[in-house]
Amino acid sequence: MMEIPLAMLPVGAKGKITRIRGGRGLVRRLSDMGFTHDAEVTVVCSHSSPNPGHGGPLVVEVKDSRIAFGRGIAVKIMVQEVDN
């Protein structure tokens, strides 16, 4: 199954994290917030736009909590889509 950036998942879709492309600081920070390998992520809300770069922030549910972050980060989190 292909891995795609979290930013591309539509609202309501679920994904399993395969890896996070980014500096150590970001990866560790995300990991502290619950974004670890194999963690399941559900997209709650997306303000993304077709523009690359910071199109809009996202809200996802991961490990029982709701986290919001910018699209700049969402494109760095790679996931495999999971069927509901």
Partner 1 sequence: MKAKEVLGDDPEIVLADKRYDLVSNILATSLVKGAKKWTITDMLDKVFIHKFLGIPVFIALFWAMFRFAYDASAPFMEIIGFFFESLAEASAGIPNEVLASLIGDGIFGGLGFILTFIPPIFFLFFGIAILEDSGYLARAAFIMDRIMFKLGLHGRSFIPMLLGFGCNIPAMMATRSIEGEKDRLITLLVNPFISCGARLPVYILIAGAFFGSMATTAIWSMYFLGIVVAILLALLLRKTLLKGEPAPFIMELPLYKAPTFYGSVIHMWERGVQFLKKAGTYLLAGAIMLWFLSTFPWGAEVELSYTGQIGQALAPLFAPLGFDWRIVASLVFALLAKEIAVEALGIIYAVEGETAIAGALVASYNPVIGFTLMAFTLLYIPCVATIGTMKKESGSWKWTIFQLVLTLVVAYVVGLVITGIGTALGYA
Partner 2 sequence: MVYTVALIGNPNVGKSVIFNNLVPGARQHVGNWPGKTVEKKEGKCVHKGTELKIVDLPGTYSLTARAVDELVSRNYIVEEKPDVVVHIIDASNIERNLYFTFLLLELEANVVVALNMFDVAKEKGYTIDVKQLSKQLGVPVVPTVATANEGLDKLKDEIVYAAQKKGLVKVKPVITYGQKIEDVIDSIVDIIKDGMLAQKYPPRWLAIKLLENDKDVLEKIKGSRHHRELMEVIS
> Contacting partner 2 (CB under 8 A), which of 19, 28, 37, 47?
28
Residue 10, helix vs strand vs coil:
coil
CB of 6 to partner 1, least distance (A): 13
DSSP 42-83: EEEEE---SSSSS---EEEEETTEEEEE-HHHHTTEEEEEE-
> Contacting partner 2 (CB under 8 A), which of 25, 50, 52, 53?
25
Task: CB nearer to partner 2: give 32 or 83.
Answer: 32
Interface residues toward partner 2, by CB under 8 A: 25, 28-29, 32-34, 63-65
